[in-house]
Amino acid sequence: MASATIRDVAQKAGVGVGTVSRVLNNSASVSLNTRHKVLAAIDELEFSPNLAARRLSRGKTMVIGALVPYFTNPSVVRRLQGVVSVVANSQYDLILFDVESVERRDVFLRNVPRRQLVDGLLLISLMPTDTEVAYLQESGLLAVLIDAHHPMMHRVVVDNVVGGYQATKHLLDLGHRRIGYISDFLDDPFNSPVRDRFTGYLQALDEAGVTFRPEYHQQGEHGRFQARALTHQLLDLPEPPTAIFAYSDTQAIGVIEAARERGITIPNDLSVIGFDNIEAAEYLHITTIRQALYESGISGCELLLRVMADPMPERQVITLPIELVQRHTTAPPGG
């Protein structure tokens, strides 16, 4: 029941604790013979080192943390899956922090470094403020952003401006001129992609000589149901859009549901393009901008591990590709 300690092992093997520690840590300077003796004792006692003690002594926790804004968001989950896949093959364990509100996020970012709970931190789809970055920085906790921007941080990103541009351009190329944009709140300080895609949307519109109409941009909290409501508002307009660019696939699903509720046929009466290419987008044949979600988790975690092994002063920026995936929810206006 009560686990054996390194002292028990040392005694049983007839060596000092230092030696046991050495074989535990694969130190080269242990004779084959004593190593065997120690190993035998370890085996017999079913000993395995107490992590807390090791951590305290080494000053390292051997765990990395992943901070996510909404663990229920499919794209976040997908990124996390990438993270998990690399953690599983590392020496580290993964501790998951879900922060569903701004206050919690704040509290969290201020406390994690101090608590010395993790050796490294992954911030997923969450842009820290300058203050928070400064705090992280001076705490010495290594961190990497995934799907978020900050000039002072290592990060894995996609070009969301180009993404927004491509989505809109696709609609424009199809012949649409009345193009709506349904998105999260533009002024959310922690969400930079939402602004970037909007910028891309504006650029494409401008390039095509189409004037932006403020009423075509509906914003609300992220989510399928919210997007559905926003779509109804768009469709209630005297001159409703013929195409809608949704900030995410989740929201695109809301758009589709709203259309169905009104008996509007997609893509004949209304085109919809999403963003992310989550699995549901494939099931529902939603045209979308694919971004490598899973890979972003992999890259981000690998980068963090690399930085932890060998801190690099220059900020690393990994830009992942995006790509239009044309499916069945977009077509020329009027069918």
The residues binding DNA (CB under 7 A) are 3, 5-7, 14-22, 24-25, 28-31, 33-35, 47, 49-50, 53-54, 56-59
247 binds, among DNA, a copy of itself, none (CB under 5 to 8 A by kind): none
324 half-sphere exposure, CB direction, 13 A CA radius? 18
Distance CA 146, CA 123 (A): 6
Site map 156..195 versus a copy of itself, x via CB under 8 A: ----------------------------------------
On whether the CB atoms of residues 51 and 106 are closer than 8 A, the answer is no
Distance CA 225, CA 257 (A): 9
Closest to 74 measured CA to CA, from 296, 279, 232? 279
Using CB under 8 A, which of 11, 90, 139, 199 touches a copy of itself? Answer: 139
DSSP secondary structure of 275-300: EE--HHHHHTT-EEEEE-HHHHHHHH
Closest to 255 measured CA to CA, from 282, 279, 213, 287? 287
Distance CA 251, CA 72 (A): 14
C-beta of 71 vs 186, nearer to a copy of itself: 71
Distance CA 277, CA 274 (A): 8
Per CB under 8 A, the segment of 123-131, 138-146, 171-179, 229-237 that binds a copy of itself is 138-146
Using CB under 8 A, which of 25, 27, 81, 265 touches a copy of itself? Answer: 81
Angle between helices 17-24 and 32-45 (to 10 degrees): 90
Amino acid, single-letter form, for residue 32: L
17 binds, among a copy of itself, DNA, none (CB under 5 to 8 A by kind): DNA
Residues 6+ apart with CB under 8 A from 10: 16, 17, 19, 20
Work out whether 245 is an interface residue with a copy of itself (CB under 8 A): no
Least distance to DNA, CB of residue 310, Å:
17
114 binds, among DNA, a copy of itself, none (CB under 5 to 8 A by kind): a copy of itself
Per CB under 8 A, the segment of 89-97, 182-190, 212-220, 228-236 that binds a copy of itself is 89-97
C-beta of 214 vs 309, nearer to DNA: 309
Using CB under 8 A, which of 41, 174, 258, 284 touches a copy of itself? Answer: 284
Within 10 A of 256 (CB to CB), how many other CB atoms are there?
25
Work out whether 221 is an interface residue with a copy of itself (CB under 8 A): no
Work out whether 55 is an interface residue with a copy of itself (CB under 8 A): yes
Least distance to a copy of itself, CB of residue 95, Å:
5
Least distance to a copy of itself, CB of residue 165, Å:
28
71 binds, among a copy of itself, DNA, none (CB under 5 to 8 A by kind): a copy of itself
C-beta of 76 vs 179, nearer to a copy of itself: 76
On whether the CB atoms of residues 243 and 273 are closer than 8 A, the answer is yes
φ, ψ of residue 217 in degrees (nearest 5)? -105, 110
Angle between helices 6-13 and 17-24 (to 10 degrees): 110
C-beta of 138 vs 187, nearer to a copy of itself: 138
30 binds, among DNA, a copy of itself, none (CB under 5 to 8 A by kind): DNA
DSSP letter, residue 211: P
Query: Residues interacting with a copy of itself, by CB under 8 A?
Result: 1, 3, 46-53, 55-56, 61, 63, 71-72, 77, 80-81, 84-85, 87-88, 93-100, 104, 111, 114-117, 138-140, 253, 279-280, 283-284
